[in-house]
């Protein structure tokens, strides 16, 4: 096994981590700029949803194919192309003259993000040939992304308050340039991958998947303004169903599918994917709702809004690290049941939220909810990796991340629909419905874990089954 100089390995890790940082930072940082965007562009809740979901939609839809593109063209090359596209798109976001221009720039950001994430991991696999060192490197990579996701609202609040909303995108420019420099200087040149270069990109499956997600997102977002009875909403839902059926048919018949459906025959893998979608639905959906609540209903500044999320960010970072260390000692079933039930309890305790209530009593429920969510994230990753063969680890991780991003996108769309009217009394009714929806889904996930969660030994046996 060839060795890689330590300086090059560390430089590659830094570049890969920076790529993951900007991707997850732009998932969460926009939330604290919602009121500034609303006033700047004169838009409504639906417009704000698209600023968030245009990015997440493209990111989720292209994530699996971007990994295949890296197999064909080389992970380093695709990673650098993705970083360059993400950086240029961030400049486009920061300079956008209209809401439409901002949304299109966010779409370009999502394309760059999809190219960054899977190929950053591929670069780490090449830079750290020793399994133990690679495991530690991936741990640092994941920790950097987790910190970025958790710190996004706080950092965003400070930037918006002191430099305006455009700064939350322009901050990506120096990060992108640094990441490109480190990658070009330290990452190993791409080696020819004969297997990867011969593998198709499953363009029909990719197209069907994109249409499914885009049509569903449009229907959920447009229903707020047009109503569920509008022909465009009905047409979008029908298109989403038809393209989803086409996607399943294409993937089941493809010799090299983008999404191997046989993986879902493994109960642990299927359960992890469903639970990943549920926790992101609850987390992203309610972060969106509470961001609107703090800014539009309680009239907090962006910086105050970011600080309001500070208890959640601290707990998310701490519990992620703690559970990552304990996951080898505790059974996945126990961690999953605890995480689902604890998150459901935390969000349920937020149910009595009111316009007149003080912020102080929100802290404990937010801490409970975020610790439950944080318990689930590393547990789901470990469960996914233990359920599949080593050769399937890359695609399995990609599927889990895609499921989580789709769940987050649906969370913003559904919860945004529920709080589409910003009149205080009506908004609060919608907010309570959004909280209730998240709690019900988390309890459903808890029930699924109770019924379908295999023991550790059974998960290992599943992995040995042909797929």
State which of 69-73, 148-152, 377-381, 433-437 shows the largest mean pLDDT.
433-437
Range of the domain at 449: 260-467
Buried b (16+ CB within 10 A) or exposed e, 233-270: beebbebbeebbebbeebbeebeebbbbeebeebebbb
Kindly give, in sequence order, each residue whose CB lies less than 8 Å from that of residue 108, ignoring residues fewer than 6 positions away: 85, 88, 89, 92
3 state DSSP class of 79:
helix
Residues 285 and 296 in one domain: yes
Number of domains in the chain: 3
- What are the CA-CA distances from residue 375 to residues 82, 319, 327, 370, 447 (Å)? 30, 6, 9, 8, 17
3 state DSSP class of 389:
coil
pLDDT at 325: 63
DSSP code at position 192: P
State which of 202-216, 229-243, 286-300, 434-448 shows the largest mean pLDDT.
434-448
pLDDT at 457: 42
Residue 4 pLDDT greater than 70, yes or no: no
pLDDT confidence band for 104 (50 / 70 / 90): very high
Residues 286 and 434 in one domain: yes
Dihedral Cα 117, 27, 172, 5, nearest 10 deg: -30
pLDDT at 162: 87
Domain of 73, CATH number, reads 1.20.1250.20
pLDDT at 461: 46
Residues 299 and 389 in one domain: yes
pLDDT confidence band for 192 (50 / 70 / 90): low
Kindly give, in sequence order, each residue whose CB lies less than 8 Å from that of residue 449, ignoring residues fewer than 6 positions away: 271, 275, 333, 336, 337, 340
- Residue 194 lies inside a defined structural domain of this protein: no
Residues 21 and 129 in one domain: yes
pLDDT in tens, 243-275: 989 988 988 887 777 777 888 888 888 888 899
* Of the residues 160, 186, 212, the one at which a domain ends: 186
Residues 248 and 264 in one domain: no
Cα 127 to Cα 119: distance, rounded to the nearest angstrom: 12
Residues 287 and 312 in one domain: yes
Cα 156 to Cα 169: distance, rounded to the nearest angstrom: 10
Residues 39 and 83 in one domain: yes
Q: What is the 3-state secondary structure (H, E, C) of 268-335?
A: HHHHHHHHHHHHHHHHHHHHHHHHHHHHHHCCCCHHHHHHHCHHHHHHHHHHHHHHHHHCCCCCHHHH
């Amino acid at each position: 096994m060839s060795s890689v100089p330590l300086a090059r390995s560390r430089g590659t890790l830094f570049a890969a981590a920076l790529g993951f940082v900007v991707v997850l930072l732009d998932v969460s940082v926009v939330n604290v700029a919602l009121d500034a965007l609303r006033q700047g562009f004169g838009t409504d809740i639906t417009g704000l949803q698209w600023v968030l979901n245009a990015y997440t939609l493209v990111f989720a839809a292209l994530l699996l194919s971007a990994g295949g593109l890296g197999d064909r063209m080389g992970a380093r090359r695709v990673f650098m192309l993705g970083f360059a596209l993400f950086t240029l798109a961030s400049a486009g976001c920061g300079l956008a003259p209209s809401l439409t221009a901002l949304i299109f720039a966010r779409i370009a950001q999502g394309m760059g993000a999809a190219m960054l994430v899977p190929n950053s991991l591929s670069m780490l696999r090449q830079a750290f040939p020793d399994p133990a060192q690679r495991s530690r490197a991936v741990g640092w990579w994941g920790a950097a992304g987790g910190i970025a996701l958790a710190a996004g609202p706080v950092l965003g609040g400070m930037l918006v308050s002191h430099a305006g909303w455009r700064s939350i995108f322009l901050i990506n420019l120096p990060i992108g340039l640094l990441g490109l420099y480190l990658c070009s200087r330290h990452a190993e040149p791409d080696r020819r991958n004969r297997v990867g270069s011969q593998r198709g990109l499953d363009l029909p499956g990719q197209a069907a998947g994109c249409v499914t997600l885009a049509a569903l997102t449009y229907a959920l977002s447009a229903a707020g303004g047009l109503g569920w009875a509008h022909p465009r909403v009905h047409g979008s839902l029908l298109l989403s169903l038809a393209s989803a059926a086409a996607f399943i048919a294409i993937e089941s018949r493809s010799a090299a599918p983008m999404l191997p459906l046989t993986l879902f025959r493994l109960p642990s893998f299927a359960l992890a994917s469903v639970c990943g979608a549920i926790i992101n639905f609850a987390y992203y959906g309610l972060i969106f709702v509470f961001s609107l609540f703090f800014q539009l209903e309680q009239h907090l500044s962006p910086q105050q809004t970011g600080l309001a999320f500070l208890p959640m960010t601290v707990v998310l970072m701490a519990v992620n690290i703690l559970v990552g260390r304990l996951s080898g000692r505790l059974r996945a079933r126990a961690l999953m049941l605890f995480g689902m039930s604890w998150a459901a309890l935390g969000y349920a305790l937020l149910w009595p939220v009111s316009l007149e209530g003080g912020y102080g009593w929100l802290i404990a429920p937010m801490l409970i909810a975020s610790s439950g969510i944080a318990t689930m994230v590393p547990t789901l990753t470990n469960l996914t990796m233990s359920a599949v063969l080593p050769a399937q680890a890359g695609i399995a991780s990609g599927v889990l991340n895609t499921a989580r991003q789709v769940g987050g996108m649906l969370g913003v769309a559904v919860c945004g629909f529920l709080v589409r009217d910003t009149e205080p009394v009506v908004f609060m009714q919608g907010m309570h419905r959004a909280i209730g929806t998240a709690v019900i889904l988390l309890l459903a996930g808890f029930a699924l874990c109770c019924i379908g969660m295999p023991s550790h030994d059974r998960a290992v046996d599943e992995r040995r089954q042909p797929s």
